[in-house]
Amino acid sequence: MNGDWLIRGRDGRLTVYLSPGDAVLCRAERGPAGPWEHAPRTVGGSQKLHPGAAVGQGTDGYAHLAAWRPTVPGESGLVHSTHFRPGLAALDWVPIGHPDQKGDRTGPPAVAVDGAGRGYVFVRNKGGGVSLRNQKVKGGWGGWLNLEGQEVDGDLAAVTGESGFVELYACAPGALLHWRQEADGKKPVLTESVDAPVRPGTLRALATSAEHTTLFFTDTSGDVCAWRPGEKPVTLLPSAGPGPVSAVRCEIEGHDCTVLAQRSASGRVAFAAYPTEQEPAGAWWTESGPTLPDDALVSVALDEHDEVVAASQSPSSGRVLLTRRKDEPGLALEAWREI
């Protein structure tokens, strides 16, 4: 899954989204703090999908999902669904086409939702740049827009700032790229690129203040770095493992903090926390939970009490594990349990 696949709905219940094969599944709490539904439900109907769906969430709590589906032999198209509440069925998948009109998959999609609740689906195009299709102000979908860019590689990282404007991050050989909306409903524009030795597939973006979003990425030397457009990337700490971090803002003992989670090289989940946008303060990893399979993914979110909650999922084992912050100083976590 590309994006935060553990999310809190508008009623406070948590949902996990899974993409184990040719479908997207969801599983939700039956009430805040559980218990959980006994079995996952299929999202969007019965049509077959390619692996690698993307999830984004608006301030209204609605989840927007995008995925590739096979169309004719050798070709694919993108589809979109909206999931309004954890206990309800998601809308059926709606075809939104291909950035190059037709062809096979061009890259993993990314999804963001603007301040008015409109979905934005980003994807690499055959020219190596980025294309966008988004929901219109008056309903329906606009046409595909070419956002330019060259030699874009790996997953895209879409995020919505506290302003409600959508932003996108991508990497190209030796560089990071940043697109931003300048006004409500407008086409995002490529505003900045910066030299950086980025490891593709490690991007994750988070709104970190009223003015900024922050991109977390792993550089080619193996360090987790942070970048806010208008500044230079800074090194935060050595990466715990090979994949992207998951990130969430929360309050810890009265301080605005950013919490990172990553599957470590040992196979456990590693957590780090530091004062938001104060990377020079430093951070360090603390490992938690059991050893996970190599394909395990990690996501962090806030629960109904605005406390940190984390989940891991493994497509090979089918297991989803969950932990929550204890009512103790610092970032103490409960024992991991399978849901």
Residues 286-320: pLDDT tens digits? 999 999 999 999 999 999 999 999 999 998 888 99
Residues with Cβ within 8 Å of residue 101, at least 6 apart in sequence: none
User: In this model, does residue 34 exceed pLDDT 90?
Assistant: no
Per-residue tokens: 116: 């008015």
Can you tell me the distance from the alpha carbon of 252 to that of 302, in angstroms, rounded to the nearest whole number?
Answer: 12
Q: C-alpha distances in angstroms, 306 versus 95, 255, 265, 300?
A: 35, 13, 29, 12
CA distances from 43 to 71, 76, 89, 297 (A): 19, 19, 7, 19
Q: Grade residue 249 by pLDDT with cuts at 50, 70 and 90.
A: very high
Angle subtended at Cα 237 by Cα 235 and Cα 241, rounded to the nearest 5 degrees: 120
pLDDT at 327: 85
**Long-range Cβ contacts of 260-266 (<8 Å, 24+ apart):** 260/216, 260/224, 260/300, 261/298, 261/299, 261/300, 261/310, 262/224, 262/298, 263/292, 263/296, 263/297, 263/298, 263/312, 264/240, 265/240, 265/241, 266/291
Mean pLDDT value across residues 179-202: 96
47 within 8 A of 53, measured Cβ to Cβ:
no
Write out pLDDT tens, residues 100-117.
999 999 999 999 999 999
Q: What is the pLDDT of residue 227?
A: 98
Instruction: Please report the pLDDT score of residue 206 as a whole number.
Output: 98
Classify 306 as helix, strand or coil: coil
Residue 60 is which amino acid?
D
**Which of 184, 208, 317 lies closest to 257 in space, CA to CA?**
208
Tell me the mean pLDDT in the region 31-37: 88
Q: pLDDT at residue 124 above 90?
A: yes
Question: CA–CA separation, 244 vs 110, rounded Å?
Answer: 14
CA distances from 106 to 28, 155, 162, 269 (A): 31, 11, 30, 31
Contacts 24+ apart (CB under 8 A), 230-237: 230/192, 232/194, 233/176, 233/194, 233/196, 234/279, 234/280, 236/274, 236/279, 236/283, 237/272, 237/282, 237/283, 237/284, 237/285
* Residue 138, Cβ density class (10 Å: 0-12 exposed, 13-18 middle, ≥19 buried): exposed
> Above 90 in pLDDT, residue 21?
no
- In this model, does residue 58 exceed pLDDT 90? yes
18 forms beta bridges with 25
The pLDDT of residue 329 is 84
Please give the average per-residue pLDDT across 129-156, as a whole number.
95
Q: How far apart are CA 143 and CA 230, in angstroms?
A: 30
Average pLDDT, the chain: 95
3-state secondary structure of 280: helix
- DSSP three-state, residue 88: coil
Residue 139: pLDDT band by 50, 70, 90 thresholds?
Answer: confident
Distance (Å, whole) CA 77 – CA 92: 15
pTM for the full model? 0.96
More confident residue, 31 or 80: 80
Question: Which pLDDT score, from 0 to 100, does residue 317 have?
Answer: 84
Q: How confident is the model at residue 173 (pLDDT cuts 50, 70, 90)?
A: very high
pLDDT higher than 90, residue 230: yes
